[in-house]
Structure formats: C-alpha cells, structure tokens
Structure 1
C-alpha cells in the first residue's frame, strides 16, 4: 500500500507527466468546444487557456526561468480568479434558492470550474518547484 501511495505521489510531482495529461485534456475540451458540442462559455475558455499555457510551460526545459514563472503567475492566477468568480456566481444561486441541485454532476460548470481551479493551483505549484526544498535554507 505504501509503495502504491509513493508511486502516486511521485507521479503527481512529475511536471512532464502532469503537464502532458492536462494538455491532453485541454486539447480534447478545445476540440469539443470548436465542434460546437457544448455551450460556448467565456469562463471555461479563459480557464482552458490558462491551463493550456501553464501546462505548455511545464513541458519546457526552461520552465523555472524567470520569464516562464512570470507568465505562469500572470496567466495562471488570471485563470484562478475567473474560476473562483464562476464558482462564486453559483454560490450566489445557492443562496438565492435558484440552484438546481439535481443537475450537479461531473459536467456541471460549478464542478468543472472547481476542478479547473484545483488544477491551475497544482500546475502553478509545480512550476515554482513546490516539491523541492528552498535553496535559501
């Protein structure tokens, strides 16, 4: 059991593996959006853009260069802010009694924006080498 948990933990810290998986999901959702199979959502498009840019940066050799970190910070945090705004709009619906709890499933915008925020935060932490000890001591 410990070996399985260690393998999962090391896989989640592998920037190329995580970046490649997120980029594959981004490309799939982009294809679905371009094909017109889903409702065009500006929130989703911004989050997809932020996830795509951040995952491409993770796949680069120079992912920890200052310019890459700056782009990750600006684009990634913009995507996080948009995702949190989308979640907040759904929370306003909950508080006003207009939220349809029976419609909540994995494809619901509230769930998807929450997953996008979690993924963006994880990608940003990987770009900043969150798993490594600080060189300052």
Structure 2
C-alpha cells in the first residue's frame, strides 16, 4: 500500500510539472470586467503564469468542495452524536438494571427461576413440603 501511494505521488508530481512547463506563458488576471476597476481606483489586475492560475483555481475549487461537503453533512454528524449519546445512556441503564435484578429477592421467584429437571426425573423443588408417599 505504501508503494502504491508513493507511485501515485510521483505520477502526480510528474503530471503537475508537465502542466507547469506547458503553460508558462503570462496571462492577465483581472478582478473586475471591462475596465470597471479604473472607476474604483488602483490596479485590479495582475500578470501571472498560466499554470499558477490553473493550480490556484484547482486548489480553491477543492477547498470550496470540502467546505460545501462539511456543511452539507453537518446534520448527519449531529444526528450521529445524538444517537451515540442515547446509546451510551441506554447501555448504562441496561447495565444498571442487570446489576439490580441479578438475583431474585423473592423465594417464589427463586423457585421459578431454577432449571427444570431432565426428562424422567421428578425432583421436588427445594423447600417444598410435599405429603409423604403412601
């Protein structure tokens, strides 16, 4: 897996260098269309190599997609946190109930909870007063 990751990074670097070498020409990047910037004062354009414009646009697009997905999935994360807290609360309640009801406090319930005798074996429950056989 490490080799595949390294191979992917090397191929990506080669592709990026090839794009940069193929697009070295200068382009003018303007903030406002058709000389609108001159009415606001100052120079609102800059000359940059084309590959830099491409890379920055790609990085900004990736960042915008990351933020968009983070905001889109916020309700899913909120629901997961709520359900996780609910599960923890219910597991604690079940554990408490198991501890509290581990042993029956009533003799009748203790007799009822005893395992049934095997087939053909008739053994009276302990503590039972049965009449003597005749």
Compare relative contact order (CA 8 Å, sep 6+) and give the higher one, 1 or 2. 1
Same fold (TM over 0.5): no
Structure that is richer in helix per residue: 1
Shorter-chain TM-score: which interval?
under 0.3
